Structure 1
Amino acid sequence: MPLVHISMRTGKSEAYRQSIFDNVYRAMHETFNVPEDDQFMTITEHDAATFRYGSSYLGIPRSDDLVYIQITANNTRTVEQKKALFHRIAELLGKNPGIRPEDVFVSLVEVVKENWSLGNGLAQYA
């Protein structure tokens, strides 16, 4: 049950944003076995004054097309699955909507299963 928060600069089209949603979900489905209809995602857009990044941190040349993708998920995946997820997200976003791999920044936040309430005030996974 990943929860995905995506942050990016303002000014992209609805089709561009929908492509990000679709391809991040596809990568999670393929590498993390996320089931159909398990799509809980947001995109927040920022103007230049509220979006900052290191343009060359770790020798990676980033641009204003940088996209932050924060995924909160259960702590049940292997290191290999995590690497596959990161690679697949960058690969798919490179194809559509055309984001350079250098501009795909992914952060995975892992939590234990009992830390979720998916509605009705219940801890469905506890």
Structure 2
Amino acid sequence: MPLTRIALRAGKPVEYRKALTESIQRSLVETFNVPKDDIFMLITEHEAGNFVYDNQYLNVERSDDLVIIQITLNNTRTLEQKKTLYKRMADELAESPGLRREDVFINLVEVLKENWSFGNGIAQYAL
């Protein structure tokens, strides 16, 4: 069950944001075996002064189209699965909505299964 937070500069059209979420979900389904209907994503848009980043950190040339993707998920994936996800997501986002690979920043936050409640005040994965 991933929870995905997507941060980007304000001003992109609805179609662009929809393409982001669809590409990210497709990547998660294909590489992490996430069910297609297991989709929980939050998009936040930021004005230029509230979206601060280094445009050359680690020799990656970033533009103002940078998208920061943070995914909270269970700590059950291998290093190889994570590497596969990073590549697949950059490829998917390059295809649609046409994002440069250099502008795809991904961060995984791993948690224990019992740290989720999907509703009703129940820790569904802890049962």
Q: TM-score range by the shorter chain?
A: over 0.9
Measure how far apart 1:89 and its partner are.
0.6
Identify the residue that residue 107 of structure 2 maps to in structure 1.
Answer: 107
Once the two structures are TM-superposed, the CA of residue 61 in structure 1 deviates from its matched residue by 0.5
Q: Distance in 2 between matches of 1:124 and 1:7?
A: 28
Corresponding residue number in structure 2 for 1:71: 71
The runs of at least 4 consecutive aligned structure 1 residues that moved more than 3 Å come to none
Distance 2:65 2:40 in 1: 23
Give the TM-score normalised by the residue count of structure 2. 0.98
Which residue of 2 is the match for residue 31 of structure 1? 31
SS for the counterpart of 1:125 is: helix
Q: Under a length normalisation based on structure 1, what TM-score does the superposition of the two structures give? A: 0.99
Task: Structure 2 unaligned segments of length 5 or more: list them.
Answer: none
Aligned partner of 2:125 in structure 1 is 125
Paired AA for residue 12 in structure 1: K
**Partner of 1:84 in structure 2?**
84
- State the alpha-carbon separation in 1 of the partners of residues 55 and 8 from structure 2: 15
Give the share of equivalent positions with the same residue, in percent: 60
Q: For residue 40 of structure 1, what is the aligned residue in structure 2? A: 40
Structure 2 Cα separation of the partners of residues 119 and 6 of structure 1: 22
- Number of the residue aligned with 2:20: 20
Is 1:49 aligned with 2:16?
no
Three-state SS of the structure 2 residue aligned to 1:8 is strand
Partner of 2:10: 10
Q: State the shift of 1:36 in Å.
A: 2.0
The answer to whether the 8 A contact 2:9-2:46 is kept is yes
Residue aligned with 2:84, SS:
helix
* Structure 1: gaps spanning 5 or more residues: none
